[in-house]
Structure formats: C-alpha cells, structure tokens
Structure 1
Amino acid sequence: MDEITSVLSSVGDISVITRQSAFSFKSRIVEVRKVGRELGARFVVTGAIRQSGSRVRISVQLNSAITGANLWSQRYDEELKDLFDLQDKIASHVAGAISPSIRASEIAAARAVAPMNRKAYELYMSAFPHFWAHRREENERAIELLTSAVNKDPNDFRAKALRAWAYAQQATYLWSETPLRSREYAQSDAEAAILSSGDHAPSLVAIAAALSMTGLEHERSGVLLERALVLDPNSAWGWLRMGWNQIYHMRDIHDGLAAFDKAEALSPLDPFRFNIQFGRAYSSRCIWLEKRA
C-alpha cells in the first residue's frame, strides 16, 4: 500500500494522510467511518495481499468515510516476476481508477447542496458534468457555475483554470456568437490562473489546454503539461492534452499517439474519450501519410 499512497499523494485534488497515521490501524478491524472520524478523512482506501507460489492477488477498495459506502473496488491477479514493476503497475491502475471515483463522489456531494448555499469549491465541482457534456448550452452552464465560484472567491485559481478551458471550447467549437471574445476570456483566465496554480496538476492541464486551443503557444503549453505529468503521472487529461500538443506543434506524431494510448489506458471510460479517439485517428493518419511520402 506504500506505493499506492505515494502515487495518490501526487494527485493534485487529493490530500493523502501520512502513512504513519494510517498504519496505526494496521491489523485492526475498524469500521470505515471510525477511521474517517479519527483521521479527519473523507475517503478510506483499504487493501489486502495474498500470495500463492509465484502468483499474487491484490484487492483494493475505496470507501466513503462519511457514509461507509463502497465507491470502487478491484482485484488484481498477477504473476510475481518483478516486485517493483508490479508495485508500479498496480499503483498506477489504482490511482487512475480512484481519482475519478473520488471526483464523482465530490460532485454528487456538491450538487446535493442547495445552489444558493454552495461555496466556491462546490460550485467548481458542480461545473464538471456540464463541462464534460460537450454541448453548447451545457458548456455555457459550466461557465456560469465557474463564474459564480470566482465571484465567491476571486482567488480560486481552480475555477479560473477550468473556466479558461470552457471558454477555449466555446471559441474552438464556435459555441459563441463572438468566438474572438471567448478566446480573449480563455487567455485572460489562463494567465490569471497560472499565477496561483503552483503544483496543482489539474489546473496546469486546464491552463495548457486553453492556451493551446486558442493560440500558438504550444511550446509553453508543452512545458505546463510536462510539469503537470511530473506532478501526476497518472493524469489521463494530462496525457490527452500532451497528445494534442504534439500534433499542434507538429513534433513526433508517434509520441502523440503513445500519449493518447496512455490516456485511454488510465481512464478507459473517460468523458473525454471521444477526444482521445479523434487524436489517435489523426495521429494514425499523419503516420500513414509519412509512410506514403
């Protein structure tokens, strides 16, 4: 579980309690909600390892520390050839699966709060389903919610970063009667968010997406994406945007294709899977044209 804890610690939207505190519950049968109360945690990840000969079975589950409900579980049956490779593989898979599950739970909790009572973070989380819907009216609703979040907390760089991406979609897909103004809004939000985003990988990805979709700053976007993926190597959106940035920048198309494959492997049911497929199709065509030239 050390490797899983380490990988989860790199995810920008997840604050992981130190393993020393968590280990106080080792070998004890304790109700999940009690663990949450004692550690001040909203979610609890538990796991077990069994070995038989050269095979190992690892089971992992994610529970809400508030309700005790199981949010996600998975069992891995693997051949124990290289312990370190196996640790890295399982940790990556678990982080890739747990992050969306936690986000979905946070979104549900935010939407359960009456709209007039939502705080900036709850408004930010409430915007995601509309942002993912990839339709003009839904994207506009995401912008409205994110604007409300910024109005409640002008220093909320996460809301500004995601709004920059939403404005970039509005401009790129011509979901606005004034796409040039949407482009200006996207770049303005991106520049404002970058000043405070620090090491928040999801915001760095959103900022990079906004800049690359609305301008020619692919070099700068690439730097932001590289930084985001160092912070969170299991960010499916980071790999998705890295793939497109390779295409925009006309660098190694094979690297772009590999980035799309990585994104889909990390999040096979991602809301942006269509964008992964488009990117892979475009990359494959570019490679085919290279071979014919």
Structure 2
Amino acid sequence: MAVEDKCGRFCGSADRAVCRSTQALTLPDKPSIAVLPFENMSGDPDQDYFADGMVEEIITALSRFKWLFVIARNSSFTFKGKAVDIKEVGRRLGVRYVLEGSVRKASGKVRITGQLIDAVTDAHIWADRFERDLTDVFALQDEVTIAVVSAIEPRLRQTEIAMAARRRPENLTAYDCYLRAMQQYYVASREGVAEALRLAHRALELDPRFGPVAALAGLCHMLSVIWGYAIDPQFERKEAVRLLRLALSVDDGDPDTLARASVISAFMVGDCESEIEMADRAVALNPNSYAAWYCRGWVYKIAGLPEEAIRSFERAIRMSPVDPLLHRSITGMGYAFIELGRFDEAIAAGKKALSQNPFFSTAYRCLASAFAHLGRDAEARKAAARLLETDPTFTISGYIARGGQSNSKLLIEGLRRAGLPE
C-alpha cells in the first residue's frame, strides 16, 4: 500500500527505504553545526571563490573534531545568495548550530566576521571579527575555527586542535589556484572537470608538494575516464594513479586525501584490500567527512561488499542531506541494491536520483538494469534509450573498460537484457 512520505509524494515500500535515507533528520546526540556560505564583501563578484574557499577550509577544520557533527559543504552551499531563516536551516539540515558571516579581501588584508546562532532557540551565542594580512589567511581560518569550537565546547582538546590544521601549501598563489579548481570541480560537467584539471596542474607547478591539490587532480583524471570524457583514457588513467601516489607520499594521514586516493585506486587499479584499508582509515580519522563516506561507499561497492556500501552512502547522505550532487550517492545505493537482488529498491533509487538530475546517465544504467531483471521490458528499453541519449557512445564493453565493474555482474547482466549495445 502506498503512503505519503516526507517528500510530499506517494510511494511504495521500496521508495520509502530510499526516502528514509534522505529525509529522516533528527538532531544528532552530539553538538551539530552547519557553516553557511559567507557573504563576499569585497565588492568584486570574481572574489566569490575566495570567500567560498575560506568557508570550505573552516568546515574542514571543524569536521576534524570528532565530538562535533558537521554538515558537508555542498548542503550548506545550497543556501548561498538566499535570505535564510536560521530555524528553517537547522530543521532542513538537522543541526543545532548555524555559523554565518562575511569575508572581505582588499588592500592586502582579509577580514572575517562571524556569528554563531542556536537554530533551535534563534539565540546568538557568539560573534566576532578577525583581520589579518593576506599572507596569514591560514592563521585566520584557524582563529575562526577555534573561536567557534570554544563557543560550543569550552574545554578544547589541544590534540584535536592540532589535528584540525591541514598541511599548508608553500605558495599562496598555488592555494588560490586550488580554490578556483575546487569551484570548477563542484560544477561536475565536462567543462568543469577540464578547467579544474588545468587549475590543479597549475597549482602543482607552483607547489609540487601540495598534497590536497594532487589528490584533486588525480580525482579529476579518474572522472574523465569513468564518465567517458577522456580523449586518451590510458594517459588519464596513468596520470590519476601517479597523482594519487604523489598525494599519499606528501601526506598519507589526511582523511580527504586518503578518501580520494581510495576511490581513484578502486576505479583505476583494483587492489581491494589496500583500497578498503585507505577508505576505513579516512572515516576513522574524520567521521564527519562527507567525501570520506561517499568514497568509502564506492570502494566497498567496487570490492563486492554492497551491504557496507549502502551503509556508507547512507552516512554520506546524512552528512549532506540537501547536497546538489545527492543523486550520485543515491545512485551508488541503487547499484549496490542491484548486486543484492533488491531490484525494486534500485528502481526507487534511480528514480529519486533522476528527480534531482534528469541527465545523469549513471541513474539510467541503474534503471535499465533493474527493470530488465524484473522482466519489465518496456520500461527497461525506455531507460536504455534515455541512457543512449545522454551518453550516445555508450557500449557495455566500453563501460567495463572504464574500470570498477569486476563485481557488477548483475548490473552488467541487466544492461545486456535491456538491449544496450555490446
């Protein structure tokens, strides 16, 4: 029997399983916070990337405190440029505290103002202003982070403060390129990935030992291969592996670097034991990292452990419940459901993903395979046709060659049954 779910639509039991992963937002049993995009007060819209980068660094630093629950960047940034009601933000993201503020970059200086608000009572807990020379942006980020954490938890743990500090690049221009590359990476298009790669490689020219940007560049090369963007897949595959090794040689204790390295290796190399170890270590180091849980989901899916993949994707979704790229995590769950023979739930996941991004070819693969396994041939052929509209050069053999499909037996079998070209 269909019931009305929290999405405001009617769905069956399989759909409700997916909805529970994306809608049930009770407050965690530890202090929880979302950092909203800071307003760019520089008077130059082209400086948005800098304000966004500062916020992302603050989110990353806060997320290292394991006794906090920190919402991921992508969900926080859905509120960018909007007049917000703090109580509504807290309700939608399932957090107790919200940090908002502004950034001004001018005349060689950076100024940040911030205020911390209790989203349940609407009470202002803390507000302050910080100013530094542009050469001290990292110290500024640390000051804001420590001030916010102090307002939430007076007894700071010094070891965790030390852990919250990331390795700093030696070259500030390299850092600037990195921030711009991240902005393009989040666009998630062919053009965005290409521009992110150009900027990331420029950052590496300026600072060859800048670990996070090496990991980002490796990830972009991997995406070019698995999304079918690559003109020379073998070159991009080798570059992805070279860069993941470079990133790990710089810092194999950074959770985001470990997470990116684990998923790059899963798609490009296929050493399951090593990849699982990296993914597990990433979430152990930072259980608040959306990227770590998301990457862990794909690592476990590729390793042929779909139950653990689903748990990882569910955790990632809770860390970023209104993420504009949520369709990726939901489709990952759908792929795992297929390998478990839970085809109705895979269909629910595929439909949910397409409701957010109707051009996401990965979701059409999920639907085509799941429908075919259930003998719903007309729906399978329709999904296959839509897949070929969004990815006209798709073939099953080419898809397998992109990597990461050795444990996708039921998925591939369903694609063949749906009539997709070999």
Q: Given the two structures, how large is their TM-score scaled by the length of structure 2? A: 0.44
* CA apart distance, 1:271: 4.5
Partner of 1:112: none
Change (3 A) 1:279 1:59: closer
Could you tell me which of 239, 263, 273 is aligned with 2:326? Answer: 273
Q: Which residue type is aligned with residue 68 of structure 1?
A: T
Structure 2 distance, partners of 1:67, 1:179, is 43
Partner of 2:240: 186
Partner of 2:212: 158
- Secondary structure at the aligned position of 2:196 is classed as helix
Partner of 1:263: 316
Question: What is the CA deviation profile of residues 141-188 of structure 1, one whole-angstrom value per residue up to 9, with x for unaligned ones?
Answer: 000000011011011111111100010001111211101110000000
Q: Which residue type is aligned with residue 61 of structure 1?
A: L
Partner of 1:196: 250
Question: What is the CA deviation profile of residues 34-53 of structure 1, one whole-angstrom value per residue up to 9, with x for unaligned ones?
Answer: xxxxxxxxxxxxxxxxxxxx
- Secondary structure at the aligned position of 1:133 is classed as coil
- Secondary structure at the aligned position of 1:68 is classed as strand
- Secondary structure at the aligned position of 1:195 is classed as helix
- 8 A contact 2:263–2:296 mirrored in 1: no
* CA apart distance, 1:220: 1.3
- 8 A contact 2:190–2:229 mirrored in 1: yes
Change (3 A) 1:179 1:286: same
Partner of 2:61: 14
- 8 A contact 1:132–1:271 mirrored in 2: no
2:251 corresponds to 1:207: no
Structure 2 distance, partners of 1:270, 1:149, is 27
Structure number with larger C-alpha Rg: 2
Partner of 2:54: none
2:159 corresponds to 1:121: no
Could you tell me which of 145, 149, 152 is aligned with 2:203? Answer: 149
Change (3 A) 1:271 1:237: farther
* CA apart distance, 1:118: 6.2
- 8 A contact 2:263–2:298 mirrored in 1: no
Could you tell me which of 239, 259, 279 is aligned with 1:225? Answer: 279
Partner of 1:61: 99
Q: Which residue type is aligned with residue 178 of structure 1?
A: D
Change (3 A) 1:199 1:133: same
In the TM superposition, what are the counterparts of 1:124-139 in structure 2 within 5 Å?
A: 124-139=178-193
- 8 A contact 1:218–1:249 mirrored in 2: yes
- Secondary structure at the aligned position of 2:287 is classed as coil
Q: Which residue type is aligned with residue 276 of structure 1?
A: S
Question: What is the CA deviation profile of residues 37-77 of structure 1, one whole-angstrom value per residue up to 9, with x for unaligned ones?
Answer: xxxxxxxxxxxxxxxxxxxx95453445834255x755248
Change (3 A) 1:181 1:134: same
Q: Given the two structures, how large is their TM-score scaled by the length of structure 1? A: 0.63
Alignment gaps of 5+ in structure 2:
1-29, 36-57, 66-94, 104-110, 122-148, 153-170, 345-373, 375-409, 411-422
- Secondary structure at the aligned position of 2:119 is classed as strand
- 8 A contact 1:12–1:200 mirrored in 2: no
Partner of 1:41: none
Structure 2 distance, partners of 1:119, 1:162, is 17
Partner of 1:43: none
Change (3 A) 1:138 1:192: same
In the TM superposition, what are the counterparts of 1:25-40 in structure 2 within 5 Å?
A: none
- Secondary structure at the aligned position of 2:341 is classed as helix
Q: Which residue type is aligned with residue 268 of structure 1?
A: P
- 8 A contact 1:13–1:202 mirrored in 2: no
Q: Which residue type is aligned with residue 257 of structure 2?
A: S
